[in-house]
Every structure is written in structure tokens, then in C-alpha cells.
Amino acid sequence: MTPDDAQTELMAKLRRVCKQVSPEQIKSELRHLGRAPVPQPAQELCENFLINVLKNQGTIDCAANRSEAVKSIANYLHEHFRSRKLVAGNDPRLAAMPWRDGGVLPRFGAAEQDYANAQTPASLSYARLGVAETGSIVTFTGKSNPAANNFLVESHIVLLDVADLVANFEEAWNRISATFDDEGRPRGINFISGPSSTADIEAQLVAGAHGPRDWHVILMGEVPNAAQDNARSYVETCLNKL
């Protein structure tokens, strides 16, 4: 039997089996399979998320409310660029931020194409979700939230509400699917898990080759007091063991 004959026979068997099974039965079987457990560094959801952001070469901060978040953004911009300027999408949640509390000067729109010479080298996105098991954030892109703001800047700053933090990808996709009925499908759905990086040349990891060199996530809301310090201590201990 040739490989082509074996493939044909296998596909024929699959077709015969599938004809005997209803879609409802397939869905039921999939539900019963459940999901494989993913080992996580911490039990608490916020701490777990922050640890994985750091492991993804991101940086973190926590803010109790929108005013503190704006001040955190201002501190980050001043530390990295000696500036208070950034670009942000026309997201109503970003427009409603108390920018005067931190003296931040947002330009609402899309990032400049030539980001190496951009007047606003940092962008701000408001994440729709955060995924704790991978330290990822999820953004919906479209006219109000240009994808360029996620990828064509030197530094990408992300705001995430604690209420929008989920444990795993299954929960994330359930939440995403639930928004389609009310909002329709977005132009794009981006899962972002760190700054841009590549190891194409001599297996040397280089940040910023295709997009942001820095990725800063601000978790906003009721974050446990020790979560941020615990996350940093955990990652530092891991690095010391290398």
C-alpha cells in the first residue's frame, strides 16, 4: 500500500464514522474531554498573570483606580522618554481617563508609520481581556483602535481591568464570543504576550525587531497588596537559578 492509498483509506474511514455521529454527540464528547491542566506559578489570579507578564519580558505596575493609572502612565513616559506624550486609539474608555491627573498629553488616532522618528514613540491600548495562564492581553482592533498602535511604536503601554482578567484561553474565547452578539465581530483580535522579539539570526533573542521594544502592563482595580512584589520576587528567584 502506498502512502497515498493509506491516506485515502484513512479519510474514507473518518467519513464513514462521521456520518454515524450527530453534531450534538460530537459537542458532548468534546465537553467531556475537558482541558489539560497547565502548571501555574501562583494560585492567585492577579499574581499569576503578573508573573507571566514578567516572564514574557514585559514590565508591570498596578493601580487602584483610573487616576492612579494615569499617574503611572505619566511616570513611565517620563522615565523612558522625558515626555508626557503618547498616541491612543479613539476608545471611549481611553477618552474618559482623567489625563490631567498625570499631565499626560494623548494624541487620539493611529501611530505614525515611521516609528523610529515618531513624535509619540509610545502608545496606549485598553485591553479587552487578560489571560493569566500565559500573561497575554487581548485587544480588538478596528477604526477606533488601530492595530498600528499595538505594533508600530517603540513602547506599548496596556491598561487592563482586574474584572477582565481570566484564567485561561478557553475562558477568554468564551468571553470574546459573547461580545459578538452585541458588538459584532471586530476587524481583528490580537493576543499579545510581550514585546516584539525574534531569534532568527544565530538564535540570539533580539527585542524590537518587528515592533515594540518595550511592553508595559498596568493592572487596574482591586489587586491584592502583595501580588506585584510577589510576582517580581518569583521571577527574580527563577532568574537566579539559571
Q: pLDDT, tens digit, for every residue of 77-121?
A: 999 999 999 999 999 999 999 999 999 999 999 998 665 566 788
Confidence band, pLDDT 50/70/90 cuts, at residue 10: confident
Alpha carbons 181 and 186: distance in angstroms, whole number = 11
For residue 124, give the C-alpha cell: 496606549
SS (H, E, C) the chain: CCHHHHHHHHHHHHHHHHHCCCHHHHHHHHHHHCCCCCCCCCCCHHHHHHHHHHHCCCEEEEECCHHHHHHHHHHHHHHHHCCCEEEECCCHHHHCCCHHHCCCEEEECCCCCCHHHCCCCEEEEECCEEECCCCEEEEEECCCCCCHHHHCCCEEEEEEEHHHEECCHHHHHHHHHHHHHHHCCCCEEEEECCCCEECCCCCCCEECCCCCCEEEEEEECCCCCCHHHHHHHHHHHHHHCC
Span 42-240 CATH architecture? 3-Layer(aba) Sandwich (3.40)
b/e sequence 76-94, b meaning 16+ C-beta within 10 Å: bbeebeeeeebbbbebeeb
Is it the case that residue 25 has pLDDT exceeding 90? no
Q: What is the pLDDT, as a whole number, of residue 54? A: 96
Tell me the domain boundaries of the chain.
Answer: 42-240
* Rounded average pLDDT over 159-166: 97
Provide the mean pLDDT of the chain: 89
Q: pLDDT, tens digit, for every residue of 166-222?
A: 999 999 999 999 998 888 999 999 999 999 887 777 777 777 777 899 999 999 999
* Rounded average pLDDT over 6-20: 81
